[in-house]
Amino acid sequence: MLELMLGRSRGWPIAIAGPEELDPTTPCLAAAFVGSTILLGERLPGDAPFEPLVHAVERWLGIRVPAVCSLEGGGLNGLVPLTFAPDRIVVDADCTGRAVPGLDQISLFVDRLPGIVAACDTGAGGAMLVSTDRAIDAERVIRSAIIQAGGAGGAVFAGFTVGDLIEHAIPGHLDVALRLGSAYLSSAHWPPAALAGALGGRLLGHGRITSVDTDDRDPFVRTVELAGVNGEVHRIVSRTETLAFMTDGRLEASAPTVIALLDAVSREILEVTDLTLARHIVAIELPGPAWWHASPHRLRRVQPSAYGLTELDAIT
């Protein structure tokens, strides 16, 4: 959908600026779709879904915000900032560096950056603005508003500058995504280990899905068992994203490390909902952003234990 929107963009070729290349005092905003992405496919957003929200934050801040960065660098939301070109400067920085389910997990909140405001859809063209320094309030209020708006909608965060992104976000994100994408396109059908190498990652394992279990306590948590090619037992623990990968009871990788899952035959990149019985899949570990590892308080917000899943955090 966004690819179609971007295809008609006036801004091509879109210029991307690194955060260091701009004046650090330049105000910046971050935008993303929140809620169910499946719903967005059924109920298409308008041609400028973020316009009322940007208007609301600019009015609140009393200034025009000339720069835009991504809020969540995974999936659909990775492309959102590009829709703002050429009216605003697209900054190559991301506020999560991977996929995360909660708005309180964005880097600006994790680092407790003061003065963040957020606006989101409330449905029927309405907008709501939250100004709070307590991350969980923003998450809960925006989540409620999005439910009110029909389950999916836009959100825009502002109140920070391009200079803040150097320290409190993950710079170079688009660059990494572009390199990863090109590598995938050129080597998608290579043998699994070679493909993992080409992507700059490590092959965790490949095998056939023998069971998919839902956790007793958290219905979002799913455990997928893979019968490995040499008889080993792989276990993938996922919530909205893949959180951990184990082989024969030993933890091999866990968030914030990125665990990418591909169909072993078509090499299609799989979401957690695509993991169904008897499918052959390949699991590849891609290094997560170093930003999350830089401090214990950041790690605490992104490791599996942040979701109440014990014994899955990588020991550092």
- Nearest to another protein of 58, 215 (CB atom): 215
Cα dihedral 292, 294, 300, 305 sign: positive
3-state DSSP call for residue 174?
Answer: helix
Cβ neighbors of 138 (< 8 A, separation 6 or more) are 103, 104, 109, 116, 118, 130, 132
- Nearest to another protein of 232, 241 (CB atom): 232
- Nearest to another protein of 76, 251 (CB atom): 251
- Nearest to another protein of 211, 273 (CB atom): 211
**Is 5 exposed, middle or buried, given 0-12, 13-18 or 19+ CB atoms closer than 10 A?**
middle
Scanning the structure block, which residue is given the tokens 């951990």? 244
**Closest approach of another protein to the CB of residue 225, in Å:** 4
Scanning the structure block, which residue is given the tokens 């909140």? 109
Binding site for another protein (CB under 8 A): 210-211, 213, 215-216, 223, 225, 231-233, 235, 237, 244, 246, 248-251, 309-312
**Closest approach of another protein to the CB of residue 311, in Å:** 5
3-state DSSP call for residue 92?
Answer: strand
- Nearest to another protein of 61, 212 (CB atom): 212
**Closest approach of another protein to the CB of residue 259, in Å:** 13
**Closest approach of another protein to the CB of residue 226, in Å:** 9
Whether cis (ω within 30° of 0) applies to the bond prior to 13 is yes
**Closest approach of another protein to the CB of residue 244, in Å:** 7
- Nearest to another protein of 66, 228 (CB atom): 228
- Nearest to another protein of 25, 310 (CB atom): 310
In residues, how long is the chain? 316
- Nearest to another protein of 156, 237 (CB atom): 237
As given in the structure block, the two tokens for residue 52 are 């009322």
**Closest approach of another protein to the CB of residue 276, in Å:** 17
Contact 70, 78 (CB under 8 A): yes
**Closest approach of another protein to the CB of residue 173, in Å:** 30
Cβ neighbors of 43 (< 8 A, separation 6 or more) are 150, 152
**Is 261 exposed, middle or buried, given 0-12, 13-18 or 19+ CB atoms closer than 10 A?**
buried
**Closest approach of another protein to the CB of residue 213, in Å:** 6
Cα dihedral 199, 19, 97, 35 sign: negative
As given in the structure block, the two tokens for residue 219 are 């219905």
CA distances (Å), origin 38, targets 35, 84, 206: 9, 23, 28
Q: Which helix H or strand E contains 16, and what residues bound it?
A: strand 16-17
